[in-house]
């Protein structure tokens, strides 16, 4: 049982390049999330999904797009990368959205934009 798997683990981009981060979960969870984590700050929610075919904006959605075509996969896209998007990106999933519901995290993607 792999849990939540993120690819790639590391990536270096030049300003203006595009890329897609892939998140896959094998727990049959309805909810999936993309966060970014920057030094000295808490995790910030970029986008989330409450089920296959749905997406919603989080706290910091600008510059990112997402898609949830299959229940097990949640993709995060950067259309035109900027140095401000240098960060560690974490994907998470949960069974429901309500209180007491544990979010399970992937190992993270470390992205540098030069």
Partner 1 sequence: GQNIDQPTEMTATEGAIVQINCTYQTSGFNGLFWYQQHAGEAPTFLSYNVLDGLEEKGRFSSFLSRSKGYSYLLLKELQMKDSASYLCAPMDSNYQLIWGAGTKLIIKP
Position among 74, 81, 106, 111 found at the interface with partner 1 (CB under 8 A): 106
74 binds partner 1 (CB under 8 A): no
Nearer to partner 1, 17 or 61 (CB): 61
58 binds partner 1 (CB under 8 A): yes
Position among 103, 112, 113, 114 found at the interface with partner 1 (CB under 8 A): 103
Compute the least distance from the CB of residue 43 to partner 1, in Å.
4
10 Å CB burial of residue 62 (0-12, 13-18, 19+) is exposed
The site map against partner 1 for 13-52 (x = CB under 8 A) is ----------------------x----xxxxxx-------
- What 3-7 contacts at long range (C-beta under 8 Å, 24+ apart), as own/partner pairs, is 3/27, 3/104, 3/106, 4/91, 4/92, 4/93, 4/104, 4/105, 4/106, 5/106, 5/107, 6/89, 6/90, 6/91, 6/106, 6/107, 6/108, 6/109, 7/109
Chain contacts with partner 1 (rule: CB under 8 A): 4, 35, 40-45, 58, 90, 97-108
């Amino acid at each position: 049982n792999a849990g939540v798997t993120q690819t790639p683990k590391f990536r270096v981009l030049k300003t203006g390049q595009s890329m897609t981060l892939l998140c896959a979960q094998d727990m049959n969870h309805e909810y999936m999330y993309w966060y970014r984590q920057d030094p000295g700050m808490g995790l910030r929610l970029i986008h989330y999904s409450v089920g296959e075919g749905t997406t919603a904006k989080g706290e910091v959605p600008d510059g990112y797009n997402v898609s949830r075509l299959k229940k097990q996969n949640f993709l995060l896209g950067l259309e035109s990368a900027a140095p401000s998007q240098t960060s560690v990106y974490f994907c998470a999933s949960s069974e429901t959205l309500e209180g007491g519901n544990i979010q399970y995290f992937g190992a993270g993607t470390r992205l540098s934009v030069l």
